[in-house]
């Protein structure tokens, strides 16, 4: 019930008077999209099955969310979870200075891993918001507070899709959202369902001296129906070391140590549900 009440509040934030953009990345092979509008301009979504090299200590999962059969929301923090965050080592604070700007020059890179049932693999990503705060351990219900919002998916006014993605701009859409397909990257390829590349210019105006901590708030499953949550946790991660190469979209070659590393730190299906 808490998630449903918060959902109504959050999705009203920054909603568009006219059409809203629905980015559909559920087709076989995923797809890509480049966003336009306010704080999101220049953001790239990449849900293609592109392999990348990851290894122990390279991927840092910093927030995990889970509540099955409903929408779920939350953010990374060192505090006790107030929403749908899973407590533990994989939900924690991040300093702006630790964000990955090396993987794709000119962008800050985030990785998203979702978990859905094989027979119901679709999921909506309904909110992505970035905040800056002075504290590493905020515990407010809903979005992090006190914190300064500086990036919001609901600012999107248009998108250009490629590589199988479909961008729909219509008044019938309830809010800006992204739809994903767990089947496309389950246990193969990069093991992650979407790369989020945000231009470094988005971060330029943040006073990191006064507010050094970065918060990523997200919400899943608010479109409901076949797009609600139904299995293990969703998690956001970053590359925690520099020098990683950017994955090329629609690549299918994965060899040697890359494959071993993938199975070691790639998709983690959850046996013990919350």
* Domain boundaries, given as residue ranges, for the chain: 2-265
Residue 210 has a CB neighbour count (10 Å cut-off) of 10
pTM equals 0.83
Tens-digit pLDDT profile for residues 21-52: 999 999 999 999 999 999 999 999 999 976 55
Can you tell me whether residue 237 is helix, strand or coil? strand
* Full DSSP string of 137-194: ----SSS-SS-EEEEEGGG--EEEEETT-EEEEETT-SS-EEEEEGGGGSSSTTS-SE
Q: What is the pLDDT of residues 161-202, one digit of tens each?
A: 999 999 998 877 889 999 999 999 875 345 789 999 999 999
Q: Which residues of 101-119 are buried (b: 16+ CB within 10 A; e: fewer)?
A: ebbbeebbbbbbbbbbeee
| 264 pLDDT above the threshold of 60 | no
Q: How far is CA 224 from CA 11, 40, 157, in A?
A: 13, 24, 22
Q: Measured between alpha carbons, how far is 79 from 88 in angstroms, rounded to an integer?
A: 10
- Other C-beta atoms lying within 10 Å of the C-beta of residue 124: 24
As a whole number of angstroms, the distance between CA 178 and CA 161 comes to: 12
CB atoms within 10 A of CB 253: 7
- Rounded distance between C-alpha atoms, residue 232 and residue 228, angstroms: 12
How many other C-beta atoms are found inside a 10 Å radius of the C-beta of residue 150?
17
Q: What does the pLDDT look like over 48-97, one tens digit per residue?
A: 976 555 555 678 999 999 998 889 999 999 999 999 999 999 999 999 99
CA-angle at 247, arms to 245 and 249, nearest 5°: 155
């Amino acid at each position: 019930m808490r998630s449903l009440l918060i959902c109504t509040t959050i999705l009203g934030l920054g909603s568009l008077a006219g059409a809203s953009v629905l980015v559909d990345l559920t087709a076989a092979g995923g797809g890509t999209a480049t966003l336009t509008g306010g704080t999101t301009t220049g953001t790239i979504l990449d849900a293609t099955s592109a392999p990348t090299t990851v290894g122990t200590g390279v991927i840092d999962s910093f927030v995990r969310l889970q509540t099955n059969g409903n929408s779920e929301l939350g953010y990374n923090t060192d505090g006790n979870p107030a929403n749908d965050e899973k407590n533990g080592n994989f939900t924690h604070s991040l300093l702006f200075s630790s964000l990955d700007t090396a993987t794709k020059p000119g962008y800050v890179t985030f990785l998203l891993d979702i978990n859905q049932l094989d027979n119901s693999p679709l999921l909506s990503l309904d909110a992505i918001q970035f905040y800056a705060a002075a504290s590493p351990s905020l515990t407010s219900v809903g979005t992090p507070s006190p914190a300064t919002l500086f990036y919001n998916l609901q600012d999107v006014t248009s998108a250009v899709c490629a590589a199988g993605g479909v961008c729909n701009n219509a008044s019938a859409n309830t809010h800006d959202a992204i739809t994903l397909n767990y089947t496309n990257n389950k246990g193969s390829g990069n093991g992650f369902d979407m790369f989020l590349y945000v231009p470094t210019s988005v971060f330029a105006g943040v006073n990191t001296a006064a507010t050094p901590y970065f918060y990523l708030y997200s919400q899943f499953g608010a479109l409901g129906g076949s797009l609600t949550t139904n299995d293990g946790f969703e998690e956001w991660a970053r590359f925690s070391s520099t020098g990683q190469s950017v994955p090329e979209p629609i690549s299918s070659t994965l060899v040697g140590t890359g494959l071993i590393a993938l199975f070691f730190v790639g998709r983690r299906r959850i046996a013990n549900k919350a």
